[in-house]
Amino acid sequence: MEMEKRMRDDKRGFLRHLLTGLGIGAVAAASASRANAQGVGKWSAVEEPQDHWLDQMGARHRQVFDTISPEGVARALTFTNTFYAANKDAYGIDPSDLGVVMILRAGSTPFGFNDKIWAKYGSGLAARAKLVDPSTKSAPVVNIYNAADKAASLPTNGLTLAALAAMGGQFAVCSVASRHLAAALAQDTGETPDAVFAQMQANTIASARMAPAGIIAVNRAQEHGFSLCYTG
């Protein structure tokens, strides 16, 4: 009997040690998991000197509009107008305290250029964007989203690209798409792609800059605290 009692006690002791060991292992695993999660949470993007322009505008609230089509530009202008107006009406926040960036890439790239480019290459730009001037019903010879006299005919709440720039908005124009566009326009005119691209670089709209790529601008804006609104 005494031997059986000792055997039962030894078995209970073994089980206690086993369960204690398992408990310690579980705690250690949980601690390691939390440490790993904390390590991931501490990740932050490396700031590149070329992207410091994103911090040189209002920073109370930040919004970036990503556009890839003519219709996307119209929607972005409409939403931007609402963004400014609602912040002012509901919070008393002036446009100068807001950071707004519009990215022009893919099919919206041509609207990053001023009327000098549109006067020279309007037919080629319009053909590729499947665009007509709402007033003349023909190929535009001006940037229609930058023309105050055409604003009433466009679904933009009357806001033009120039008006957005005047309120502190900034634009990022895709260099990759611009080079593709320059090559296509060069075929139309007999110029070299580099010559066309150089003209495009020299004739961006107000408050615009050429980004290495539109998708890079989308990425960097979010890394700098801008909320993304994709407008198509």
My answer on whether 25 and 99 are in the same domain is no
| pLDDT for the residue numbered 35 | 45
Model confidence pLDDT, tens digit, residues 97-152 = 999 999 999 999 999 999 999 999 999 999 998 999 999 999 999 999 999 999 99
Model confidence pLDDT, tens digit, residues 148-185 = 999 999 999 999 999 999 999 999 999 999 999 999 99
CA distance 23 to 58: 52
My answer on whether 212 and 136 are in the same domain is yes
My answer on whether 12 and 68 are in the same domain is no
My answer on whether 85 and 193 are in the same domain is yes
CATH number of the domain encompassing residue 180: 3.40.1260.10
CA distance 67 to 183: 22
My answer on whether 160 and 176 are in the same domain is yes
User: Which residue range is the domain that position 174 belongs to?
Assistant: 49-230
**Which residues are CB-neighbours of 223 under 8 A, at least 6 positions away?**
45, 51
My answer on whether 38 and 61 are in the same domain is no
Model confidence pLDDT, tens digit, residues 1-37 = 554 555 455 555 544 544 344 444 444 454 445 445 4
My answer on whether 13 and 103 are in the same domain is no
My answer on whether 113 and 181 are in the same domain is yes
| pLDDT for the residue numbered 191 | 98
Q: Count structural domains, the chain.
A: 2
Cα-based distances in Å from 157 to 78, 144, 150: 5, 14, 11
Which one, of 145, 71, 79, lies nearest residue 115 by Cα?
A: 145
